[in-house]
Structure 1
Amino acid sequence: MAKDGTDSERATAAQRRAPAGAAVLREDKTAAIRAAVFEELAAVGFARMSIEGIARRAGVGKTAVYRRWRSKLHLVLDVVSAVAAAGLPAPDTGSLRGDVRMLLEVAARALRHPMASQIIPDLLAEAARSPEMATALKTALHDSQEGVAAAVVARAVERGELTEGVDARLALDLMTGPLYWRLLVVRDEVPGGYLDALSGSVAVALGAE
């Protein structure tokens, strides 16, 4: 009986094994690596970041990183794109100013995060030297959010607050540009009432009735 039990356990274990040649990528290790990327970027920047440093911070071997990404550039682009894909919310507060105000609040909170304030300027500087990075960041930081701005504009048109033909890219630039300048370039605080004033200014600039 003991032998039968042992054989049964072995058979079950064998069934759970991955097919020969297939690498099983553990989700907990993948999550640890992704988190380590942001920590490394904030600590040393893209230029000094290494696969070795990421692996050490994640508590995995270099092989675990290379099984998932072939270089640090592809690793960073994948991680940043995944975060950006989560994107801004598509608010529907009932007014253009309300929608813009909600988007500004979310964007300001994200840009004030200590890691974001270190990582985003560093990656943009790297993009000036790397066309591949520039293209990926454009997609991650701008194009992925354009759909949200388009939805806000479309709802405002339906409500009669805006006329047809408002450029969604212009709307996105007006919403995010001032925050980027204040929080990441000038590195100034956002005073009380600033987001309310900015949302009103954006609505007027877009031609709100």
Structure 2
Amino acid sequence: MTPPPPGTPRRTPAGAAVLREDVTEAIRAAVFEELASVGFARMSIEGIARRAGVGKTAVYRRWKSKLSLVLDLLTAFAAQGLPAPATGSLYGDVRALLEVASYALRHPVASQVIPDLLVEAARHPEIAEAVRATLLDSQQGVAAQVVRAAVERGELPEGTDPERALDLIVGPLYWRLVVVRSPLPEGYLDDLAASAVAALTS
């Protein structure tokens, strides 16, 4: 059989499965909902498929297990990243970062999914790595940009540690919203931003 000339587009083999993007997105949305509803341990491919309105085969064509599905979802989420705020001042950047973080952490799905995944991370190294990439690495990148901009403006000294900055900025907020699950009083984010800036510049 004569091979096709170079540059000829390859045809999809007859009978090959073509994965519909709308079905893939429906399954991904169902995973978030299922995680928030029953948690990772009780989550099942059957439940995901039922919630997405597809058959189990549609899920297994894309992911071999619920673990690989969740890992893929976390990895995709981490890859999106968050834009670093650029308000022109350290306080403004910190306040903007807190606003975005508080919105994300107060989302009903996130408030259920994150604590459950942290528990599962202790049992599954793969989940631990994915959670780290989602919750920590992407945030550290944003914190590094905030610190770098503040150093260039002369608001922070050279050598300011972005990891320490992230701990000071987001740590109290995470504790309050995810661990204690206490509502934020009026002006809390303003006060927290001022306290974080004072700690970073002292």
**TM superposition score normalised by structure 1:** 0.88
Paired residues of 2:121 and 2:128 also in contact (CA < 8 A):
yes
Equivalences for residues 111-126 of structure 1 within 5 A: 111-126=105-120
- Once residues 105 and 196 of structure 1 are traced to their aligned partners in structure 2, the CA distance between those partners, rounded to angstroms, is 10
Q: Distance in 1 between matches of 2:65 and 2:118?
A: 19
Deviation of 1:205 (Å)? 1.5
Residue 106 in structure 1 maps to residue 108 in structure 2: no
CA distance in 2, matches of 1:80, 1:132: 11
Which of 1 and 2 has greater Rg?
1
Instruction: Give the letter for the 2:108 counterpart.
Output: P
SS of 1:68's equivalent in the other structure is coil
Aligned to 2:16: 22
The alignment status of 1:197 with 2:172, answered yes or no, reads no
2-side partners of 1:90 and 1:131: how far apart?
Answer: 29
Query: Alignment length, in residue pairs?
Result: 192
Deviations 1:145-177 (A, max 9, x none): 211111100000000000111111111222221
Contact 1:88 1:106 in 2 (8 A): no
Alignment correspondent of 1:52: 46
Q: Which residue is 1:134 aligned to?
A: 128
Q: Which has the higher helix share?
A: 1
Match of 1:179 in 2: 173
Aligned counterparts of 1:92 and 1:178: Cα–Cα separation in 2: 22
Contact preservation (8 Å) 2:84, 2:146: yes
Aligned-residue identity in percent: 73
Matched, 1:162 2:156: yes
Partners of 2:55 and 2:118 in 1: how far apart?
Answer: 29
What is the alpha-carbon root mean square deviation over aligned residues?
1.4
What is the rounded CA distance, in whole Å, between the counterparts of 2:77 and 2:130 in structure 1? 13
2-side partners of 1:139 and 1:83: how far apart? 9
Moved more, 88-97 or 39-48: 88-97
